[in-house]
Amino acid sequence: MEWAGAVGAAGSALISGVFIVIAARLRRENTSQHATNQAKLEAIGDDVKEVKYDVRNVRDSHVDHLKWHAEK
């Protein structure tokens, strides 16, 4: 009967070890996916800033154009 306890402990360690290896691999993949997504979000943020700047320039030009018409 004492061998059953040893076999049970070894089986438990084997199952836990396999689970830990799989969890560690998934965690690394998840970290790399987060890094990729963060880079994409930062690029989108930069693009939004550029568009915001362009829209402000167009607005200012439009206002200047309307003032030009009002003067005539």
Q: What is the pLDDT of residue 41?
A: 94
Q: Output DSSP code: residue 54.
A: H
pTM strictly above 0.75:
no
Residue 33: the pLDDT is: 82
DSSP 51-65: HHHHHHHHHHHHHHH
pLDDT tens, position by position, 32-72: 788 889 999 999 999 999 999 889 999 999 999 999 999 87
Q: Report helix, strand or coil for 30.
A: helix
DSSP state of 1: -
> To 5 degrees, how large is the angle CA 39–CA 43–CA 48?
145
Task: Please tell me the predicted confidence (pLDDT) of residue 42.
Answer: 94
What's residue 1's pLDDT? Answer: 60
What is the mean pLDDT of the segment spanning 12-34?
82
